[in-house]
Amino acid sequence: MPLTVRRKAKESVQSLIFQFTKAIRDSGILFGIRKKMFRHRPLNKRARKEKALRSLELKKQHEREEKLGLSVKKF
pLDDT at 57: 97
pLDDT at 40: 84
Residue 74 clears pLDDT 70, i.e. is over it: no
Alpha helices in the chain (DSSP H): 13-27, 29-37, 45-68
Residue 1 clears pLDDT 70, i.e. is over it: no
Beta-carbon neighbour count of residue 5 at 10 Å? 13
pLDDT at 6: 87
pLDDT tens string 15-72: 999 999 999 999 988 888 888 888 888 999 999 999 999 999 999 999 999 999 887 6
